[in-house]
Amino acid sequence: MAWSDIGSKQALVCEAAQLEYCLASLPITVRKQLPSHLSSYHQAIGHRGAMVIPVSDPNISGLILLSPERIPKISLVTLAGKVESLTLTQTDKMTLWHELGHLHVKALEELGLLKETSAYQHEWIADCYLTWRAAKEELSVDLAWQQYHRRNMSVMKDVSFMSHWTVPVLSQLLSRYKVKDLAQFDTFEALMSDFLPDLVEKDQDTLDEFSSLIHRTFSTRTSQSLPNYMYWRKPALGHYVEPTLVKLLGKKEASLWLQQQSMLANSVTETSF
């Protein structure tokens, strides 16, 4: 059990195995906002590695429940008939930072930087927070890139993960700021105050088109060849997936793959940093 700062408030971070002890540490006014039965928490977290429950309180922003044994340590995807893998490092830390990021959404809304926040916006805000924390604490964006690749690999494997495909936003964040720039922001809210006014968000129709193109491109069950399918989205998708393909396949093979898919584009890469 640990407390973590969320602006002027705190979040209680708790492992599932210590749930009962953690709940007893919360004020009664907060506990009344949470499920009363322990089974409800275990049912809610399911097979996930973490979950966050926001609360309304002057001092406490929410409860983060972690289940470390369920946090994936490797990501897999099939490319050109071959299974490619990415070993994930510091996954417990990444998961915690992402969940803490969810609790910063309310602060951004209170500052007027965001209005009503969709579930998809929650996800990319949380990944932006992960990026900022990595820059602040490790003077590196390696973990941000790891999250970038993981998000890409998830949708390549199954487009149902589009709800967590934060890559279009992470791409802009990592293109705009170098590590030292990110680390200079004293708070996450200060970073977002600078970043959000120029952020280009994808509307749902655009995300749906990307989803369709991703499925057509990467699904192992797609047999019919349609080389011009969603051709107007291909350069942008090439831009988003190129860093991940280079990570998995190497630069030469990634370029060949993108050329075969008519997706060659000028992309931001990890080596830019």
| Closest among 243, 213, 215, 214 to 231, alpha carbons compared | 213
What DSSP designation does 254 have? H
pLDDT at 149: 98
Output the pTM of the full model.
0.93
pLDDT tens track, the chain, 273 positions: 899 999 889 999 999 999 999 999 999 999 999 998 999 998 999 889 999 999 999 999 999 999 999 999 999 999 988 999 999 999 999 999 999 999 999 989 988 999 889 999 999 999 999 999 999 999 999 999 999 999 999 999 999 999 999 999 999 999 999 999 999 999 999 999 999 999 999 999 999 999 999 999 998 665 556 667 888 999 999 999 999 999 999 999 999 999 999 898 654 555 444
The Cα-based distances of 253 to 147, 249, 250 in angstroms read 22, 6, 6
Residues near 241 by beta carbon (within 8 Å), at least 6 away in sequence: 152, 156, 263
Nearest 10 degrees: Cα torsion 100, 102, 104, 105: 180
- 119-138 helix and 167-176 helix, angle to the nearest 10 degrees: 40
H or E element that contains 78: strand 74-79
Q: Is 31 exposed, middle or buried (0-12, 13-18, 19+ CB in 10 A)?
A: middle
Q: Any residues with CB less than 8 A from the CB of 132 and at least 6 apart, and which?
A: 182, 185, 188, 191
Residues near 163 by Cβ (< 8 Å), separated by ≥ 6? 119, 120, 123
pLDDT digits (tens, 9 = 90+) for 42-83: 899 988 999 999 999 999 999 999 999 999 999 999 998 899
Burial of 204 (C-beta count, 10 Å sphere; 0-12/13-18/19+): exposed
Report pLDDT for 197.
96
pLDDT value of residue 273:
40
3-state helix, strand, coil in the chain (%, to 5): 60, 15, 30
According to the model, what pLDDT value does residue 107 have? 87
Are the C-beta atoms of residues 145 and 242 closer than 8 Å to each other?
Answer: no
- What pLDDT is stored for residue 1 in this prediction? 87
Residue 162's nearest CA partner among 231, 226, 221, 237 is: 237
Q: What angle do CA 245, 249, 253 make, to 5 degrees?
A: 95
